[in-house]
Every structure is written in structure tokens, then in C-alpha cells.
Amino acid sequence: MRIIGERRISRVLISTALGPGGSGIFPYTLLPTYRRLILAVRETGTTVIAKSATRYRRQGNFRPVNPLTWRYIKRISGQGMLNAYGLTNHGVEVCTKEIKQSCSSGLQVIPNYYPEFAKGTEMAIRETLESIKIYQDILGPEFWALELNFSCPNAKEAIAENVNQGIACVRRVRRDYPELYLIAKNSVVHPYEFAQELERLGVKAIHGVNTIPYAMVFPGDRFPPSPLADAGGGGVSGGPACLAARKYNAELRKKVNLFLIMGCGVSTPEDVQSYLDLGADAVSLCTLALRQPKEAARVLLALNG
């Protein structure tokens, strides 16, 4: 039986917390609880969305080899994180080879690609199409779905302004690869009309939402400025982002009919249930996997097992 589309997306999925290859991020892999989480991911057939790749190697703010840049990933209270990682990755070829290895070891990994619109719309689209060819060549039949990240708050590109670029990109990808199951990862700063237009263009799923810009969670009139102000403020995830994410996703559900992956701020099985009650078709988690991997494994075993 050929299983396609959302039937291959597990009810709870892990979003980007297992790195660009989808099988774990060093040095988290040194933690026994994180390794046990990877085991639970494999045992439960949990869908893993890889961390974003770009066409070519990209040096973001966080660089694993430079301890001075580690401050760009912070733990904050309420089981949250603030990060301005900035899409550091080795480029799509290297990331895809790692994904291939993960798939061969039994993990269900969907690649996540970041179109670099700061290079201009046409260049970003050309690079996206080249990258899809690379995914196809390296992954073969294991490449059935792709998440396009339109919502990174840590890149120089302004998210709210990439709507037209995102639409142009999806239109071309749909034309050249009509069979590909496309997931768009959106932000709370995107108007709902963006998701609606993506649905009209044939995107199969929306993943709402990415980390939330610092100033939206901690407004300047009541909170001190972001400790990562030099990198645009960073994105908030985990507990402190939950309220804003839920509000956005509840409204998004009313605006689109397609498969909706809701996430941001999930810390317990009850949080997963409350997204399902809002009408989520699947629920993602990331910060929980990095901060409390034991709890993340518990969620997977309870709901995907």
C-alpha cells in the first residue's frame, strides 16, 4: 500500500530539535535523556522535521565552534528559549546526506528549506528549485514532502514582508513539482491571507507557528529589551510563547481548511490535546525536546505510541 500525504505525518512531531540531519544535535546527543528521546522517536514512528538548510553553507549568529556565539541560544524562565541561531548550516547537499543516513536508520525525516529571499526573489526561487533537485537525487523515494520555512525571526530578511516572495516561490515549486507535499511554516506576524493564498496555490499543510519575535512576547513598555537586541531580538519559544501562538493558531484554523500542524509552547500532553481541541491535525514540539527531553519522550509515547 502506498501511503501518502498527511497519513505519514504523526499526530505529534518533532520540529527542528533533532538538527539539520534529523537524528540529533551535538552536544545534546551527549545527554542520555536526549538519546532516549531519539529512541522514542524511532520506536513510535514520529515524524521529524529537520532543521533548516539553505542552498549553500550559511554562517548564522550561532556557530558551534565559537563559544562567544553560544549566547545566541538562551534558556529563559517558564521552560522557554530565546534564540537568534540565524540558520547556521552546512548547505543543502551536506544536510541531505545526513537526512539520508537518518532515514536509513529508520527515522521519518522531512527536510526543511529556507529560501534566502534577501538574495532577491528570482535567485531565492532558483536556489529552492536546485535544492529540491538535490533532495530528490539524494533521498529518492524518501523525499515526498518538504517544509518551506517562511518564518525565521533571526534572519536579516523581514518576515512580514516576505509574503509576496513566499507566494512566488510556492507558485514555481508547485508548477515544477506538483506531486510534492508542501508544508509552509508560517509566523504570527504573517497575515492570515498569506495562509489562505498558499492553500489556493496547492500547499498541502501549514505549520503554525515558528518562534515569536521577542518584542511581541515581552513588549518594551513592560519588559527590558531583549538580551539578543544586537541580533534583532531573537525568537521566543516554549512556555512564554504559548499564549500568543495559541491565539494565532485558533484564528488560523477558522481561515484555512488544509492540514494544520499547530505548535509553539507545547510542554505537556495536555498542551497537545488543547491544540487538537482547537482543530489541529498534528502538533509539533521543539523546545520541550531540547529542555526536557524526558518529558518530550513521554508525550510521544503517550500520543504516538
Ligand X SMILES: Cc1cc2nc3c(=O)[nH]c(=O)nc-3n(C[C@H](O)[C@H](O)[C@H](O)COP(=O)(O)O)c2cc1C
Binding stretches for ligand X (CB under 6 A): 15-16, 51-52, 73, 81, 83, 85, 87, 112, 149, 185, 210-211, 237-238, 241, 263-266, 285-288
Minimum distance of ligand X from residue 129's CB (angstroms)? 20
The order of strands in the sheet holding 235-238 is 73-76, 80-83, 235-238, 212-213
Whichever of 266 and 280 has its CB closer to ligand X, that residue is: 266
Whichever of 60 and 103 has its CB closer to ligand X, that residue is: 60
Which three three-digit cell numbers place residue 100? 539520508
Minimum distance of ligand X from residue 43's CB (angstroms)? 21
Minimum distance of ligand X from residue 266's CB (angstroms)? 5
Whichever of 167 and 184 has its CB closer to ligand X, that residue is: 184
Whichever of 108 and 287 has its CB closer to ligand X, that residue is: 287
Whichever of 148 and 256 has its CB closer to ligand X, that residue is: 148
Distance, CA of 284 to CA of 9 (rounded, Å): 11
Q: Please compute, for residue 165, the number of CA atoms within 13 A of its CA located in the half-sphere on the CB side.
A: 25
Describe the chain by its helix, strand, coil percentages, rounded to 5: 45, 15, 35
Distance, CA of 157 to CA of 46 (rounded, Å): 32
Minimum distance of ligand X from residue 252's CB (angstroms)? 14
Residue type, 159: I
Distance, CA of 65 to CA of 39 (rounded, Å): 27
Minimum distance of ligand X from residue 2's CB (angstroms)? 28
